[in-house]
């Protein structure tokens, strides 16, 4: 046999349902308030600098704008605009949002630039160019003098020291070398230098009638010098002898 619920039981059951439904409504309302607060906080952060300072340039955001593009078109950086406009998220800007663009240049340093140190002008000194006279001396190509003679030795030894042969091949007895040297533009002097060819005129300091030639090997004091030679002590014999500067004594070179 079924029991019919009483009126008091019915009212009690509906009271519980109403209380539960009311709690749901209250919680939903609280959630909406929380979300709204977050949303408006973000929007408020995005629009933080809605009033620009005096002298600032203002820009109203258009559809498709980015902070980087706005910064580039105004010769600044997106970091500067984000900081200046106190944007919480530089990637989020809104249509019709006002962007303040500072026109004042960055503060200039108060310290004065340090002038470069003055240095004395550098004067580059160059050694004077001394033009050297070009030697016109003619060079020989071989030693054609008879082996064993003083002329052969003088030509051979001079070539050993300088790489040059005398060019005269005829009329070239020892007492004629000074004359032939002039003709071939060689230098002739009365002062000895190591490597010079010495010529003794005939009869001078023991020379025979046709003179004598040798090569200066060293210089001593009091006008004396040592000569290497051949045929002074015998045909084909190489020797060294000291001679003195004086009449009939000459020195030849191709310098």
Q: Do 9-101 and 150-253 agree at the fold level?
A: no
- Domain ranges, ordered by start, for the chain: 9-101, 150-253
The model's pTM = 0.50
Q: Report how far residue 154's alpha carbon sits from residue 227's, in angstroms, rounded to the nearest whole number.
A: 10
Judged by DSSP in three states, 79 sits in helix
Cα gap 181→167, rounded to integer Å: 9
217: which residues sit within 8 A by CB, 6+ positions away?
A: 194, 226, 227, 228, 240
Helix, strand or coil, per DSSP, at residue 166: coil
Q: Could you tell me which CATH number the domain at 150-253 has?
A: 3.90.1720.10
Encoded tokens for 4 = 């019919």
CATH tag, 9-101: 3.10.350.10
pLDDT of the chain, 255 residues: tens digit per residue? 444 555 555 445 545 444 444 454 446 545 555 544 444 444 444 455 557 888 899 999 999 899 999 999 999 999 999 999 989 888 888 999 999 999 864 434 445 566 666 667 766 666 676 655 667 999 999 999 999 999 999 999 999 999 999 999 899 999 999 999 999 999 999 999 999 999 999 999 999 999 999 999 999 999 999 999 999 988 989 999 999 999 999 999 998
As a whole number of angstroms, the distance between CA 186 and CA 193 comes to 14
Spatial neighbors of 124 by CB under 8 A, at least 6 apart, are none
């Amino acid at each position: 046999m079924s029991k019919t619920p009483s009126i008091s039981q019915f009212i009690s059951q509906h009271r519980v349902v109403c209380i539960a439904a009311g709690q749901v409504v209250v919680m939903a309302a609280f959630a909406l308030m929380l979300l709204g607060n977050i949303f408006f906080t973000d929007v408020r952060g995005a629009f933080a600098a809605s009033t620009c300072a005096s002298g600032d340039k203002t820009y109203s955001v258009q559809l498709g704008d980015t902070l980087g593009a706005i910064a580039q078109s105004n010769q600044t950086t997106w970091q500067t605009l984000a900081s200046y406009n106190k944007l919480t998220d530089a990637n989020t800007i809104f249509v019709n949002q006002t962007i303040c663009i500072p026109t004042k240049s960055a503060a200039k340093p108060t310290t004065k630039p340090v002038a470069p140190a003055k240095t004395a002008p550098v004067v580059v000194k160059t050694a004077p160019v001394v033009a050297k006279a070009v030697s016109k001396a003619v060079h020989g190509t071989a030693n054609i003098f008879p082996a064993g003679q003083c002329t052969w030795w003088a030509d051979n030894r001079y070539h050993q020291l300088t790489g040059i042969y005398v060019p005269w091949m005829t009329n070239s007895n020892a007492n004629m070398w000074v004359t032939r040297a002039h003709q071939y533009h060689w230098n002739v002097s009365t002062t000895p230098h190591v490597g010079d060819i010495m010529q003794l005129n005939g009869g001078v300091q023991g020379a025979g009638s046709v003179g004598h030639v040798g090569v200066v090997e060293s210089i001593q004091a009091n006008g004396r010098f040592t000569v290497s030679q051949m045929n002074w002590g015998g045909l084909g014999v190489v020797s060294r002898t000291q001679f003195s500067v004086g009449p009939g004594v000459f020195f030849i070179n191709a310098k």
